[in-house]
Amino acid sequence: MPDKNKTIMVVDDEALIAVQIQSYLESKGYTVTGRAGSGEEAVEKAKALRPSLLLMDVMLGEGSLDGISAAEIITRELGIPVIFITAYGNEETINRTKAVDPAGFIAKPFSEQDLEAAIELAFFRMERQDQLKTSEERYRSVVAFAVEAILIVDTRLQILFWNQAASGMFGYSASEIEGKPFLRLIPDRHHGGLSVELDRMVLTEEKNPVSRTTETTGLRKDGSEFPMEFSIASWIIRDEIFFTVNARDITDRKKIDQMKTDFVSLVSHQLKTPVAGVLGCIDNLLAEIAGPITREQEVYLKMMKDISLRNYQNISDLLNVSRLERGVIDVEIAPVLLKRVAAAVVREHLDAIRSKGLALRLKGWKARIMVKADYGKLFEAMSNIVHNAVKFTDHGHLGLILSEENGTATVEIEDTGPGIPYELQGTVFKKDMILQGPPTPNRGTGLGLYIAMEFMRLQNGEIELASVPGKGSRFTFRIPVHPHPSKE
Amino acid sequence: MEKTGQTTILLIEDEPVFRLIYRGVLVNAGYRVLEAPDGETGWNMVVNEKPDLVLLDLILPKLSGHQVLQAIRAEPGTRHIPVVVFSVMGQEKDVVKSIELGASEHRLKGVDSPQKILNLIQTILKPKREKK
């Protein structure tokens, strides 16, 4: 059933034909708003009646406007589509009608079915165009009102399109920048690194339209700079590749990151200072600087010292995890004598090893193995493992075995403690260990192994765990060897 | 200013608890201890008292520990004085900066016990004592 809201106007200089067409259309349920016999009349009535569609005879005897000229005015000024009806199939006429971009073309003589089909097709196309227009409008408004700068560039990285937010961010108007190279928006000194990155993006994007994000510096028209992040995604139209660049000004985010860093070091300082103060007081009391203490007082003081040390370690762990997560940890790789680190680790825990009566087994300590490592990070990673080994092992031994093979140095730290249950062995190096098991006063943050593993990874090393519940654990550290001239 | 032959150590530290702790350890070990609660007072005492060693905190009011260290190293009359930096700031870059600025040692408060710091001070001062 034809849509009553869609109205048709019939234009023919032969009134009889016009009336015939009208009555046929009305019999089919269409609404005919009016008829016109000349080009002038058609334009005038179309303006007044605003039909949805015109059926226009090309040859109009009366008046100076023929059907094509009238249709041109109506289409251009009113946006109303026109179907031409003509007996003349000559090339010139067809070419002139094409210029109007008609909604259809019916050749005389035509059947009623021809007429109906042409009208339905025209209405269908109108609807489709409306939908396209709406969807285009929708996209256009998304792009226009986006907070992010959105640019379209071609494969030579020339800017083809640029939205309002991009003008606000970089200070160029669309007309100033369109056709100019994208690299104009980035300071010269970053071009080298960036073009490699862009090539990589462009090459990989061709097959993979998932966008990548990169951080760089943006350059405004006035020469000022700002921290910028952008992502690129590619799309293909008719075999031509285009890139959509989304750029964000990340000044605020950078500021917040800095504030977080400052905050963490402030808090850690504030938390560590009192603990260090308490520890110092306990140490002095134990050293009997403030006078002699009894055996029993000593037991209490030692307990206080243990708790304070653990407290201090927990604060350090949390600080390290925070730094690891934000990627703001300094690593300096240099040649390090492996046994020097191992000796420092053993010295650190010597008192605890002795007081628990554990045997210390050291193997492979004669070789001068040099490794490429960050001394502090390697020390801390090994110290965390030895700390746990001593803590959980009540009898038997603690072993530190050093070796070197094929450019990799190995430190095995083994104990005869309770071992680690098989179901936990896959997760001990994960940060979420903190969530497992009930908290007990004897537990630390549970972050020590995670920190140890991350510290080793920062030095291109790793830790492997082998543990048999009830028998003990062995943690194997691997780290690249520093090649050195053979000595001694 | 009378010199009793006693070795003098200047403690520049804003936290009273650390002054208490290190004064206790050092006095107990037979040293004469001077104390300054901020960087500026500390620097003036370095110039006026010419201590045998300075035990220096990093985070201080008025002048920071690193600024005091720089001043000591820049002044010909104080350049030779050994300085031990002790801090709760354990980041490598703080330690490296202390050494670059001319500190003899950098130790961590809380991790290194006062006794360890005393041992360190004794090691640094030993050759000097033997000369006397």
Q: What is the pLDDT of residues B32-60, one digit of tens each?
A: 999 999 999 999 999 999 999 999 988 88
Least confident of A12-21, A121-130, A258-267: A258-267
pLDDT at A435 over 50: no
Least confident of A15-24, A236-245, A413-422: A236-245
Tell me which residues of chain A, numbers 258 to 287, contact chain B at a CB-CB cutoff of 8 Å: 265, 269, 272-277, 279-281, 283-284, 287
pTM exceeds 0.95, yes or no: no
pLDDT at A199 over 80: no
C-beta atoms of B114 and A284 within 8 A? yes
pLDDT at A5 over 80: no
pLDDT at B127 over 90: no
Among A261, A262, A265, A269, most B C-beta atoms within 10 A, so best to mutate, is A269
What is the C-alpha separation between A271 and A267, in angstroms, rounded? 6
> What's chain A's Rg over C-alpha atoms?
41
Mean pLDDT, chain B, rounded, equals 82
Got the DSSP string for A182-209?
A: GGGGS-GGGHHHHHHHHHHHHHHHTT--
C-beta atoms of A289 and B91 within 8 A? no
Q: Strand, helix or coil at A334? A: strand
Tell me which residues of chain B have a C-beta less than 8 Å from any C-beta of chain A.
15, 17-18, 20-22, 24-25, 28, 59, 88-93, 109-111, 113-115
Mean pLDDT of A61-66: 74
The string of pLDDT tens digits covering residues A330-380 is 788 888 899 888 988 898 888 889 988 999 899 888 888 999 988 888 998
What is the C-alpha separation between A263 and A255, in angstroms, rounded? 12
Mean pLDDT of A461-484: 89
Q: What is the pLDDT of residue A297?
A: 93
To the nearest 10°, the Cα dihedral for B17, B19, B22, B26?
A: -140
The number of residues making up chain B comes to 132
Confidence band for A211, pLDDT divided at 50, 70 and 90 = low
B128: Cβ contacts below 8 Å, ≥ 6 apart: B52
Q: What is the pLDDT of residue B90?
A: 55
What is the C-alpha separation between B84 and B57, in angstroms, rounded? 9
Q: What is the pLDDT of residue A470?
A: 87
Q: What is the pLDDT of residue A97?
A: 79
C-beta atoms of A280 and B17 within 8 A? yes
Q: What is the pLDDT of residue A89?
A: 65
What is the C-alpha separation between A244 and A143, in angstroms, rounded? 11
Least confident of A106-120, A198-212, A371-385: A198-212
* Chain B contact for A289 (CB, 8 A cutoff): yes
Q: Which tokens go with A35?
A: 């008829």
* Residue type present at position B90: G
What is the C-alpha separation between A21 and A27, in angstroms, rounded? 10
Share of chain A above pLDDT 90, in %: 17
Q: What is the pLDDT of residue A438?
A: 46
The string of pLDDT tens digits covering residues A75-105 is 888 888 899 888 766 777 777 778 888 888 8
CB A338 within 8 A of CB A402: yes
Question: Per residue, what are the HEC states of B19-76?
Answer: HHHHHHHHHHCCCEEEEECCHHHHHHHHHHHCCCEEEECCCCCCCCHHHHHHHHHHCC
Confidence band for A437, pLDDT divided at 50, 70 and 90 = very low
Question: To 5 degrees, how large is the angle CA A108–CA A109–CA A110?
Answer: 95
A284: Cβ contacts below 8 Å, ≥ 6 apart: A290, B21, B24, B25, B114
In chain B, what residues touch A281 (CB-CB under 8 Å)? 17, 20-21
In chain A, what residues touch B116 (CB-CB under 8 Å)? none
The string of pLDDT tens digits covering residues A256-311 is 877 877 777 777 778 888 888 898 899 899 989 889 999 999 999 988 988 888 88
Provide the pairing of β-strand B105-108 with B83-87. Answer: parallel
Q: What is the pLDDT of residue A348?
A: 83
Q: What is the pLDDT of residue A298?
A: 92
Question: Rounded to whole angstroms, what are the CA distances from A370 to A57, A333, B96?
Answer: 96, 12, 22
Mean pLDDT, chain A, rounded, equals 84
The string of pLDDT tens digits covering residues A139-194 is 888 887 888 888 888 888 889 888 888 998 999 988 888 888 888 888 888 887 66
In chain B, what residues touch A269 (CB-CB under 8 Å)? 59, 88-89
Mean pLDDT of A409-418: 91
Comparison of pLDDT for A216 and B9, the residue scoring more: B9
pLDDT at B62 over 80: yes
Question: Rounded to whole angstroms, what are the CA distances from A112 to A37, A116, A269?
Answer: 21, 6, 91
C-beta atoms of B28 and A289 within 8 A? yes
What is the C-alpha separation between B132 and A142, in angstroms, rounded? 83
Among A278, A284, A304, A329, most B C-beta atoms within 10 A, so best to mutate, is A284
B104: Cβ contacts below 8 Å, ≥ 6 apart: B82, B83, B84, B124
What is the C-alpha separation between A488 and A485, in angstroms, rounded? 10
